[in-house]
Amino acid sequence: MSTTAGSHKARLKNPAPVIEPAQSGPIGNVASWVDARTGGAGFTKYLMRKVFPDHWSFMIGEIAMYSMVICLITGVFLTMWFVPSMAHTVYQGEYEPLRGIGLSEAYDSTLAISFDIKGGLLMRQIHHWAALIFVAAIMLHACRVFFTGAFRKPREINWVIGCALSMIAIFEGFMGYSLPDDLLSGTGVRAMQGFLMSTPVIGTYMSYMLFGGTFPGEMIIPRFYAFHVLIIPAILVGLFAVHIILVAVHKHTQYPGPGRTNDNVVGFRVMPVYAAKAGGFFFIVFGLIVLLSALITINPVWAYGPYEPSQVTAGSQPDWYMGFADGALRLLPGSFEFVLFDRTFSMNIFPGSLFLIPFMYGLAMIYPFLESWVTGDDREHHLLQYPYNAPVRTGMGAAFITVYVVLWAAAGNDLMAIKLGLSINDITIFLRTAFFLGPIIVFLVVKHICVSLQRRDREKVLHGRESGRIVRTPEGRFFEAHEELSPYERWNLVQHPDYRALTPEEVAGVDEHGNPKDPSFMDKARSKMTHFFFKDRIAPVTPAELAAAHADEHHAQDHALAEAAQAEVQAVESGLTGQKRH
């Protein structure tokens, strides 16, 4: 209390000097008023001074962000006229072929948006194309992060959030194109109901709960609407906000290069350069999506007609991002279904429908932790890796893409059989074989290519760049002269981490007394994993190896020069001797 009182008296005797407010305009006054009540100036200054590196591959994530914003903007427009109801009505709109046809209010409002509302069809097209590009950009962004090792510490949580965003975006898209209640989307909803029914033990209960009774019921469109418009967008925006915040907290990754280390970021600040470039890029993406939507029709629901449970659209296909799940269903043999304890287990449907998507994304989510356990590397990594410097990871990613492509192609086995005049059974058998053999072949080929590229870099560091200049020695030998790399070029080729295969004893380590510990089961498992990942590694060149290589090259050059000088002396002496004789 005495300290407080004394301080108070001191302030009374020596009052703080009065600081006149800076002469600023209305904007400055408003900003000062807001900062005095929110304290946001510090955060705003930090955000505006944030540095982002400049590389074309980072723009893929921006495309995903801008596509999501476009979906939100157009979605608000469509919400104003869409009626999420399965109540029966008769169409009396502008589209003559369907006039007088009985349909649901959801389908009726979709047709009204397409033909009666000015700009409605364009908005529908923009919304659908932006959704497709959104999912595609997320997947490409995830591939870039995976192949360059951007998921390593401290970004494991952000990788998990990104995978969750990708998976949720797929469900959001499925619910979105199911809302019009046309024959194509209704066929997809009917297939989804079958997927739910295939869930062991609880499948019928799940279907009854979601549809509010037997299929099709009258609740599925209103429930999908609530999820599509409210719940899932809120989750997407929330996860995306956390994703961006973590990017700002961890600082952005960057490719190795001159002046770039784990402790800095080389690029442009948010204001004014990066904000201007990002803003311009947003309008470029928006303009291209609008142009695409205006020129290319997608999902013409008026051509399909209203959904009737007794009808199925011939040759119906889901949107491309759901194709791999549809393909898995077509490749699963029907013999996988069996009866046990008086219950039918539809293993010819369940693994390819409800189990496949969370299983694939679950594997992707746990991979950073698996690689961290294998390498034992607990350092922070802010520099990206060239994909060929992680051969096994790159091979595994290529194998995963191969699986995805095979499943995606299988979704069109019927159309391929019709258009190409082939047997659908032969196509299915071929794709089943490719599902198992294709990833193995691709993994081995990609790994071999990556190791070859590592070996090329090692030779380039040790002996320099091939100049294309051929040199002939006095004794008649020919060799290609090499140009030495600059220190910046050389550093790019040797800066990546060097992991090696470990024995079980090396993994186990020593106890507190310095005695070797007996390897446990997990130690042996990790040792085997290190051999799988790093057995065929090409170690980066060390300074000692580089010095030895340069010494050998200088010695060889000096020897060649000495030989050339000696040959020249001999030639001169021969000429003088000839002149004396003459």
Residue-wise pLDDT for 322-343, tens only, equals: 889 889 999 988 888 888 887 7
pLDDT at 1: 40
Among 25-29, 105-109, 522-526, the minimum mean pLDDT is found in 25-29
Residue 45 has pLDDT above 90, yes or no: no
Q: Closest Cα to residue 389, out of 545, 546, 549, 534? A: 534
Provide the terminal-to-terminal Cα distance of the chain, rounded to the nearest Å.
Answer: 119
pLDDT at 552: 57
State residue 89 phi and psi, 5-degree precision.
-150, 175
Band of the pLDDT at 567, cuts 50, 70, 90? Answer: low
Question: With contact defined as beta carbons under 8 Å apart, do 186 and 174 qualify?
Answer: no
Handedness of CA 11, 17, 18, 21 (dihedral sign): negative
Q: CATH class for domain 60-262+277-301+322-385?
A: mainly alpha
Residue 14 has pLDDT above 70, yes or no: no
Domains of the chain by residue range = 60-262+277-301+322-385, 451-576
Highest mean pLDDT: which range of 99-103, 441-445, 554-558: 441-445
Q: Where do the H-state alpha helices sit in 344-423?
A: 356-375, 391-410, 413-420
SS3 of residue 62 by DSSP = helix
Tokens of residue 99, six digits: 């006039």
Tokens of residue 37, six digits: 């009540």
| Contacts with 542 (C-beta within 8 Å, 6 or more apart), sequence order | none
Residue 292 has pLDDT above 90, yes or no: yes
Tokens of residue 260, six digits: 């770039």
Q: Which amino acid type is present at position 332?
A: L
pLDDT at 579: 45
Band of the pLDDT at 346, cuts 50, 70, 90? Answer: confident
Residue 483 has pLDDT above 70, yes or no: yes
Among 204-213, 366-375, 387-396, 399-408, the minimum mean pLDDT is found in 204-213
pLDDT at 477: 78
Report which of residues 130 and 8 the model is more confident about. Answer: 130
Residue 352 has pLDDT above 90, yes or no: no
Residue 12 has pLDDT above 50, yes or no: no
Task: Tell me what the mean pLDDT of segment 287-294 comes to.
Answer: 96
Instruction: Identify the helix (H) or strand (E) that includes residue 344.
Output: strand 343-346
Report which of residues 472 and 92 the model is more confident about. Answer: 92
pLDDT at 556: 53
DSSP 339: E
Task: Write down the pTM of the prediction.
Answer: 0.85
Among 209-218, 309-318, 337-346, 368-377, the minimum mean pLDDT is found in 309-318
pLDDT at 11: 45
Among 164-178, 199-213, 235-249, 434-448, the minimum mean pLDDT is found in 199-213
Mean pLDDT across the chain: 85
What percent of the chain clears pLDDT 90, i.e. is strictly above it?
A: 48
What is the Rg, in whole angstroms, of the alpha carbon atoms belonging to the chain?
A: 33
Residue-wise pLDDT for 396-431, tens only, equals: 999 999 999 999 999 989 889 999 999 999 999 999
Compute the distance between CA of residue 414 and CA of residue 257 in angstroms, rounded to an integer: 50
CB crowding 310-327: b at 16 or more within 10 Å, else e: eeebeebbbbebbbbbbb
To 10 degrees, the CA torsion angle through 117, 118, 119, 120? 0
pLDDT at 214: 82
Highest mean pLDDT: which range of 137-141, 317-321, 475-479, 508-512: 137-141
151 Rama class: left (phi>0) / alpha (psi -120 to 50) / beta: alpha
Among 26-40, 222-236, 287-301, 367-381, the minimum mean pLDDT is found in 26-40
Compute the distance between CA of residue 437 and CA of residue 462 in angstroms, rounded to an integer: 38
Band of the pLDDT at 152, cuts 50, 70, 90? Answer: very high
Q: Which amino acid type is present at position 369?
A: F
Band of the pLDDT at 491, cuts 50, 70, 90? Answer: confident
Compute the distance between CA of residue 567 and CA of residue 551 in angstroms, rounded to an integer: 24
pLDDT at 16: 46
Compute the distance between CA of residue 330 and CA of residue 348 in angstroms, rounded to an integer: 9
